[in-house]
Amino acid sequence: MSELRKKFRDMMNKPGMIVVPGASSPLDVRLAEQAGFDAVYMSGYAAACVRWGVPDVGLVGYAELEETVRAMRSVSNIPMVVDIDTGYGDIANVKRTVEGMEFLGVAAVQLEDQVWPKKCGHMHGKFVEPRDVAVRKVKAAVAARKDPNLVIIARTDARGPHGMEEAIWRAKAFRDAGADMTFFDGPQSLDEMKQACALNIGPQMANMSETGLSPTLSAKELEEMGFKLTIWPSTSARIIVKQVSEFFAHLKKTGDSRPWMDRMASLAETNTKLGLDDVKAFETKITG
């Protein structure tokens, strides 16, 4: 587990963009690793959507987070960045959350400054904690880690309710509090994204939530702008919502799945993706 944290820390220290897909389930993690990604992001939005079937408005707490991360880590051999929302409380809660995630072997945690219950960063009507509360929670996250290679990503949602000036103040304060990476969520233009990168406050994370508040760009474009890490947190979840909804509508109307067979994995392909070949190989090793 510590090796994965060291691997992710090394990725941060090397040149180049870190491209990280969002995961809603252990299946997403498996598929991301099989696709060759170097890291994966446990998305709070995507997990709320796919694993729990609810919107990302603070309905999923620490216990559900721990269950989700444990299941993902059990099938993963790549570094995992975990969305820990607000830390689910104040100083003591942040400490418990960071310690719990470190125990489960995650490589990085992302903590935000919204008031609980929080909302998806691209929803309207967000509220953020007072400055002093937000900063002390970042300090708590930094102090709670036992492995110095655990990366602390501090996110501010202040752009929505208070504008970029307040978001900039918070990002600088979070960096001064010991955060390894900062994350402005919900910038509403290319100029605002460039403004964030021009601050020279260390590595920054970008969020590509397509059709959300921010412009959608490629990893190359974001790297040229100055970002270090980019997540696509909810893309796979929204593909599931659209494609499965369309299939169910078709099946309800026709009672026939055959027109969809070229749009689904075969049973054999699915079993292979799930690791059935490894299970069979282990059984053969034991039974001869």
pLDDT number for residue 202: 95
Q: Read off the pLDDT of each residue in 228-253 and give the average, rounded to a whole number.
A: 97
Q: Where are the alpha helices (DSSP H) in the chain?
A: 2-13, 26-34, 44-46, 62-73, 91-103, 131-144, 159-162, 164-176, 190-197, 219-225, 235-254, 267-273, 276-287
Q: Residue 22 in 3-state DSSP?
A: strand
Q: Are residues 117 and 258 in the same domain?
A: no
Q: Are residues 165 and 247 in the same domain?
A: no
Write down which residue in 234, 259, 277 finishes a domain. 234
Q: What is the pTM of this model?
A: 0.95
Q: Are residues 157 and 268 in the same domain?
A: no
Percent over 70 (pLDDT), the chain: 100
Q: Are residues 71 and 98 in the same domain?
A: yes
Domain span holding position 253: 241-287
Determine contact, residues 12/181, Cβ cutoff 8 Å: yes
Q: Does 104 score more than 90 pLDDT? A: yes
Q: Are residues 55 and 144 in the same domain?
A: yes
Q: Does 133 score more than 80 pLDDT? A: yes
pLDDT number for residue 2: 85
Q: Are residues 76 and 48 in the same domain?
A: yes
Radius of gyration of the chain (CA): 20
Q: Are residues 262 and 226 in the same domain?
A: no
**Tens-digit pLDDT profile for residues 191-218:** 999 999 999 999 999 999 999 999 999 9
Q: Are residues 64 and 182 in the same domain?
A: yes
Q: In what order do the strands lie in the sheet with 229-232?
A: 181-184, 151-156, 108-112, 80-83, 40-42, 18-23, 229-232, 205-207
Q: Read off the pLDDT of each residue in 235-246 and give the average, rounded to a whole number.
A: 97
Write down which residue in 207, 234, 261 finishes a domain. 234
Q: To which H or E segment does residue 77 belong? A: none
Cβ partners under 8 Å of residue 37, min gap 6: 19, 20, 21, 78
**For the chain, what is the mean pLDDT?**
96
**Tens-digit pLDDT profile for residues 151-161:** 999 999 999 99
Q: Are residues 217 and 250 in the same domain?
A: no
C-alpha distance from residue 271 to each of 105, 265, 279 (Å): 27, 10, 10
Q: Are residues 23 and 96 in the same domain?
A: yes
Q: Are residues 87 and 147 in the same domain?
A: yes
Give the whole-angstrom CA distance, residue 258 versus residue 251. 10
Determine contact, residues 32/22, Cβ cutoff 8 Å: no
Give the whole-angstrom CA distance, residue 50 versus residue 65. 13
HSE toward the beta carbon, residue 91, CA cutoff 13 A: 7
CATH code for the domain in which residue 79 is found: 3.20.20.60
Q: Are residues 27 and 95 in the same domain?
A: yes
pLDDT number for residue 288: 84
Q: Does 1 score more than 70 pLDDT? A: no
pLDDT number for residue 126: 94
Give the whole-angstrom CA distance, residue 53 versus residue 50. 5
Q: Residue 145 in 3-state DSSP?
A: coil
Domains in the chain: how many in total? 2
pLDDT number for residue 96: 98
